[in-house]
Amino acid sequence: MQRTKPGGRFWAAMLIFGLMGQVAWVVENMYFNVFIYKMFHAGPGDISAMVMASAVVAALTTIVMGAVSDRVGQRKAFMSAGYLIWGVSIVSFAWIKSIWLTIVMDCVMTFFGSTANDAAYNAWLTDRGDETNRGRIEGLNSMMPLISILVVFGGFMGFDLDSASSWKTIYCIIGAATAVIGVLGFFLIEDAPSLRPDRAGFFETLRYSFRPSTCRANLRLYGVLAAFAVFGISIQIFMPYLLIYYEKTLGLTNYVLILAPAILAAAAVTALYGRVIDARGFRFAVWPALGMLALGYVLLILTRSAAPVFIGSLLMMSGYLTGMSVFGAEIRALIPENRSGQFQGVRIIGQVFIPGLIGPAIGALVLKNAETIVNSDGTESFLPNANIFVAALAVAAVLALVLIPVLRRRGKRA
């Protein structure tokens, strides 16, 4: 079969919007936790509450706005305007002074970010790909989370994260850059030629992917989404605490120098892995990804010194990134044609909502009796421990069991 070439303009838009969107999400998903930990001495319950509230808003927003974008037959407008307002909302964090206001504004920011990225951008990627190029598209797209971590790590190295003025500068820079990308989108993005407004009523469009008949007609898709949710739970157990674990528990104040090479190597692995996905399919490609993730967990459980932590981080990041690529490509391939916006809601439930509720709750539970330290101002902060990786490994084992019946069911892509 002749491979479809999307064109340079598509790749440019995908890389710019994919990377900038992930940079904004990294600041939220990894550094908001550090922000409230350092500025307000937040505990595991505060961090868990913020992650869970954001997950709920992300899911509801994507369900509604994905259906709206299908209803009006537009991705470009939602992406461009969404990124613009998303950037403005990020800037507002420069003036926040409390944990709970951070949580509230995180939900506001998540609404605009999920509209622009989770609903519109992901539907746009699905519209523009086909079975001849989706593995490569998803491989590059799945590199964006870790490349964005590298960009953020490098950018943050010049800031004192114990200083409120540094956070103000960070939020202004990230917010302004996101808004500028939104403006650029009005001139760069092209909607798929086949995209047309959905003539069904809004509520019919909204509930389409949740109808029992739709589920029965797409059993493999919903099975893969369920497995993706278990994968995400494993990741969300440790991810909110990862940087705090490296810096405070392991004492690796230069953790960027350990993680940066691991991220670069993991990104390279994922770029090459897209070819494996296209050539061998989900049925084969999911197992090496899960194996790398599990082996990385084992090393992070057993070791505390820099060299083995680097190797464990490399394997864990490679498994995480290739896993995202494998699941993402399979889900996009199984979504019915011209229904991509309507299915972004169920995708986000599997990718964000369920993991965002269950993963952090498990993480907070295993850290319930974690060691505490006394800060210079007399307040106490907790120290995450390796139990987060033990719990993540246990959930990864559950994922292996979940995958067995999923892989037995044949679909249009195996």
Q: Quick: pLDDT tens for 129-183.
A: 777 777 778 777 877 877 787 788 778 878 888 899 999 999 999 999 999 999 9
pLDDT recorded at residue 1: 54
308, 132 contact by CB (below 8 A): no
> What's the pLDDT at 200?
67
Q: What pLDDT was estimated at residue 278?
A: 79
| 88-92 LR contacts (CB < 8 Å, sep 24+) | 88/175, 88/179, 89/113, 89/175, 90/24, 90/27, 90/171, 90/174, 90/175, 90/178, 91/171, 91/172, 91/175, 91/176, 91/179, 92/171, 92/175
Separation between Cα atoms, residue 112 and residue 115, nearest integer Å: 5
pLDDT of residue 338: 66
β-strand partners of 381? 373
Q: Specify the pLDDT at position 414.
A: 42
Q: What angle do CA 136, 186, 94 make, to 5 degrees?
A: 90
pLDDT of 138: 74
Look up tokens 């979940």; give the residue: 402
All domains of the chain, ordered by start, with CATH?
Answer: 8-408 (1.20.1250.20)
Given a cut of 50, the residues of the chain with pLDDT beneath it are 413-414
Predicted TM-score of the model (pTM): 0.75
